[in-house]
A and B are shown apart, each in its own frame.
Chain A
């Protein structure tokens, strides 16, 4: 039962353009969402998060959008840079619950 889904295993984007990574969830109890970035041979690194009381959160080049009615969130990276090439994981939890449920990841490749 995959409660957090990232349906695109991979994405290629030209340097300087916008990268949009998508994530869907099925558990309506989830009310906090996070994005992690992972380079090979390293652990995931926290990028940005959003609470269900918001529909947008921005941090520099990264913006996360949340559509609660559609149970969908997306991560926008603009402009995309070569160092953004990595695997991106979407994760979700219930506020106050220590357990994160991760998606399967999307491999982003930025083409110079």
Chain B
């Protein structure tokens, strides 16, 4: 078990391009979360899956954002028509139960939109 893996670690893209990030959770974890962290801020909740079902989405997740977890294993987060304000660290986390034992976070994908 290598923990939560995120790919890529860094992504630089031009404004207007689409980007997709991947998260591989810990294998036995059925819960998967996406958070976004900007400079000087704490992580902010984006969305949450239990198995393949997306159960909650933040209002931060605009129509340009979409997340999937097709087979209840890995997840993808896609951002369409990227804007400079999308530049942030995108963190994925997983857990077996709800957060009382703490999520396990991945190292994140740092997105820079130029």
| B62 at the binding interface (Cβ < 8 Å) | no
**Given A49-B100, A95-B100, A98-B99, A44 and B45 contact (CB-CB distance below 8 Å):** no
B103 touches A100 (CB 8 A): yes
Residues of A in contact (CB 8 Å), total 28
| B91 at the binding interface (Cβ < 8 Å) | yes
**Given A43-B105, A93-B99, A98 and B33 contact (CB-CB distance below 8 Å):** yes
**Given A98-B31, A98-B56, A99-B56, A46 and B101 contact (CB-CB distance below 8 Å):** yes
| A83 at the binding interface (Cβ < 8 Å) | no
Residues of B within 8 A of A102 (CB): 42-44
Within 8 A of A (CB), among B7-56: 31, 33, 40-45, 48, 50, 55-56
The stretch that binds B, out of A13-21, A34-42, A66-74, is A34-42
B105 touches A100 (CB 8 A): no
Residues of B within 8 A of A4 (CB): 42
Separation of A109 and B41 alpha carbons in the complex (Å):
18
Beta-carbon contacts of A26-60 to B below 8 Å, as 1s and 0s? 00000010101000011111110101000000000
Separation of A100 and B108 alpha carbons in the complex (Å):
17
| B107 at the binding interface (Cβ < 8 Å) | yes
A89 touches B100 (CB 8 A): no
B107 touches A98 (CB 8 A): no
**Given A98-B31, A99-B48, A89 and B42 contact (CB-CB distance below 8 Å):** yes
Separation of A4 and B50 alpha carbons in the complex (Å):
25
A43 touches B4 (CB 8 A): yes
| A101 at the binding interface (Cβ < 8 Å) | yes
| CB pairs A–B below 8 angstroms (20 shown) | A6-B42, A41-B107, A43-B4, A43-B105, A43-B106, A43-B108, A46-B101, A46-B103, A49-B100, A49-B101, A51-B100, A98-B48, A98-B98, A98-B99, A99-B48, A99-B58, A100-B43, A102-B42, A102-B44, A104-B42
Give B contacts to A, CB under 8 Å. Answer: 4, 31, 33, 40-45, 48, 50, 55-56, 58, 91, 93, 98-108
Give A contacts to B, CB under 8 Å. Answer: 4, 6, 32, 34, 36, 41-47, 49, 51, 89, 91, 93, 95-105
